[in-house]
């Protein structure tokens, strides 16, 4: 068995504990979005490689050391993995930053969060008991928690290793085995981590990594009859296709999809905190965040001044290369995403007024840089208010009263996240209760805690990740009824 890279430098697939090439010899390029140059070449998996990976995961689930592992032994594996991530934080963060375009300081935060997720589920592995069910006196009834089986994990490029960890950690804690498909734009950090799987005590076949494209590598995982569950983060369109394709084998499916999350500002909110929170809510990670506060709803009383204030501050946001510690925003992830975002900038100019930005950045000779952009006087029916852009683009919408804010906020096919800013606790909490969203922040936007549930209402998804909710999605519940009476039933 060779290492992660072939003699020609091609990153291999990780299947059944071994580094392997693709059967066809096909590979694809991974691009650095700040230079537009190829930074790596990666072996491409299709249905043949997916089949190998799924069969390895199936074997590892059905027999061998993982099949008889205890929650405590799995906890130790996850703690070890977390320690390895912490020890390799600098190199993982550097690759993550260069490959995604995000500022290195943010990438370091992401990798730290990866370790935290493994630590959390290491702890939870031994704290997910079944139940004794209160049935009749002559029986003992139990509900046992058992791993679902083989889990297909399909993740996006905005937080590559973190999104993988959100799925791997609870899956492994539960005792599942996995086939992980990173996004084709950002496959490298998952492979880097796989180099330490053996050291962490993960037996061969328990985690397999296949890299490739959605239709040719993702879809075969979704359709494979030996896969029991799919966990997906990505676009709502692909989420819908996964539900349809998983129907033939009735897989369990959890989805974390798009959003168009409202960030609501009342006139009585703290001014400085609000200006800051509006920008952070939508521009962190270049706006490539499922929960981005991309609709900024502002009370009429402060609307004009607020637009001016956030536009003035947006113009000071420092764009720059990911490895520059002063950069607050890097390029968007890919040419495709750059074209998508700049297309929406043109659409926005026909629908609303520009307060800041409005085009790609001219400050760099190369790279997919987009100016932080604020559209205002946006109507909630505009495309830039309804469709997920997934880039540094905000749509500011005025509202008159509390009821209008709630109506506009909920008028969206999405329901992932929302935030409300006010110093009036009665008003803030009334709004919280009315918002149709899976995550609601008050006087903040974006903090994400591994201990708390994450997931969407409406077309933003199905199921919940993180916290105890996260592990439940990888568990089956078995009812066991134990008769305590030795007498025959006596019916016939």
Catalytic position from the list 49, 119, 223, 256: 256
Distances (CA, A) of 432 to 289, 418, 437: 21, 9, 9
Q: Which residues bind ligand NAI (CB under 6 A)?
A: 154-158, 181, 183-184, 213-215, 218-219, 222, 233-235, 238, 241-242, 256-258, 290, 340, 388, 390
Q: Which is nearer to ligand NAI, 59 or 295 (CB)?
A: 295
Whether 351 is catalytic: no
Q: How far is the CB of 338 from ligand NAI (least distance, A)?
A: 11
Q: Which is nearer to ligand NAI, 261 or 422 (CB)?
A: 261
Q: Are the beta carbons of 292 and 329 closer than 8 angstroms?
A: no
3-class secondary-structure state, position 474: coil
Q: Is the dihedral of CA 415, 121, 85, 116 positive or negative?
A: positive
Q: How far is the CB of 423 from ligand NAI (least distance, A)?
A: 32
Q: Which is nearer to ligand NAI, 62 or 237 (CB)?
A: 237
Q: How far is the CB of 385 from ligand NAI (least distance, A)?
A: 14
Q: In this structure, how many other beta carbons lie within 10 angstroms of the beta carbon of residue 207?
A: 31
b/e 441-468 (16+ beta carbons within 10 angstroms → b) = beeebbebebeeebbbbbbbbbbbbbbe
Q: How far is the CB of 215 from ligand NAI (least distance, A)?
A: 5
Q: Which is nearer to ligand NAI, 53 or 222 (CB)?
A: 222
Q: Which is nearer to ligand NAI, 367 or 456 (CB)?
A: 456
Kindly state the helix (H) or strand (E) to which residue 386 belongs, with its residue range.
helix 383-386
Report the chain's terminal Cα–Cα distance, integer Å. Answer: 64
Catalytic position from the list 176, 178, 217, 290: 290
Q: How far is the CB of 241 from ligand NAI (least distance, A)?
A: 5
Beta-carbon contacts of residue 482 (< 8 Å; ≥ 6 apart):
139, 140, 141, 142
Q: How far is the CB of 491 from ligand NAI (least distance, A)?
A: 51
Whether 44 is catalytic: no
Beta bridge partners of 397: 297
392 Ramachandran zone, left/alpha/beta (phi>0; psi -120 to 50): beta
3-class secondary-structure state, position 421: strand
Q: Which is nearer to ligand NAI, 217 or 408 (CB)?
A: 217
Q: Rounded to 10 degrees, what is the CA torsion of 130, 132, 133, 136?
A: 160
Greatest distance between any 2 Cα atoms in the chain: 87
Which residue numbers are catalytic?
256, 290
């Amino acid at each position: 068995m060779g290492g992660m890279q072939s003699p020609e430098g091609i990153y291999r697939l990780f299947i059944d504990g071994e580094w392997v090439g693709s059967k066809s010899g096909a590979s694809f390029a991974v691009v650095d979005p700040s230079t537009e140059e190829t930074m790596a070449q990666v072996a491409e998996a299709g249905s043949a490689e997916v089949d190998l990976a799924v069969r390895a995961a199936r074997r590892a689930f059905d027999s061998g050391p993982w099949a008889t592992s205890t929650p405590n032994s799995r906890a130790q594996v996850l703690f070890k993995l977390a320690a390895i991530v912490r020890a390799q934080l600098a190199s993982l963060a550097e690759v993550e930053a260069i490959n995604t375009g995000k500022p290195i300081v943010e990438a370091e935060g992401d990798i730290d969060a990866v370790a935290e997720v493994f630590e959390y589920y290491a702890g939870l592995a031994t704290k997910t008991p079944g139940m004794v069910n209160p049935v009749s006196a002559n029986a003992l009834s139990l509900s046992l928690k058992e791993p679902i089986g083989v889990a297909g994990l399909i993740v996006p490029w905005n937080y590559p290793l973190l999104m993988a960890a959100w799925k791997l950690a609870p899956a492994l804690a539960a005792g599942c085995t996995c086939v992980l498909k990173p996004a084709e734009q950002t496959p490298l950090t998952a492979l880097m981590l796989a180099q330490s799987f053996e050291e962490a005590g993960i037996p061969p076949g328990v985690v397999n990594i296949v890299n490739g494209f959605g239709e040719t590598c993702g879809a075969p995982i979704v359709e494979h009859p030996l896969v029991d569950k799919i966990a997906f983060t990505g676009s709502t369109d692909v989420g819908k296709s996964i539900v349809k394709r998983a129907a033939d084998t009735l897989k369990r499916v959890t989805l974390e999809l798009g959003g168009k999350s409202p960030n609501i500002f009342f006139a009585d909110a703290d001014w400085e905190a609000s200006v800051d929170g509006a920008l952070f809510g939508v521009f962190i990670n270049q706006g490539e965040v499922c929960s981005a506060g991309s609709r900024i709803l502002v009370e009429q009383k402060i609307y004009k001044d607020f637009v001016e204030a956030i536009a003035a501050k947006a113009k000071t946001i420092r764009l720059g290369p990911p490895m520059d510690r002063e950069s607050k925003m890097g390029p968007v992830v890919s040419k495709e995403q750059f074209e998508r975002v700049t297309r929406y900038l043109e659409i926005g100019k026909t629908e609303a007024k520009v307060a800041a930005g409005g085009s790609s950045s001219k400050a760099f000779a190369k790279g997919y840089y987009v100016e932080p952009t604020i559209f205002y006087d946006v109507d909630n029916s505009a495309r830039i208010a309804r469709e997920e852009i997934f880039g540094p683009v905000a749509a500011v919408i005025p509202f008159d009263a509390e009821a209008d804010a709630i109506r506009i906020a909920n008028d969206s096919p999405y329901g992932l996240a929302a935030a409300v800013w006010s110093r009036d606790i009665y008003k803030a909490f009334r709004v919280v209760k009315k918002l149709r969203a899976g995550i609601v922040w008050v006087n903040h936007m974006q903090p994400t805690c591994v201990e708390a549930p994450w997931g969407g209402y409406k077309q933003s998804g199905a199921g919940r990740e993180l916290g105890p909710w996260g592990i439940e999605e990888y568990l089956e519940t078995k009812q066991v009824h134990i008769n305590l009476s030795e007498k025959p039933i006596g019916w016939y």
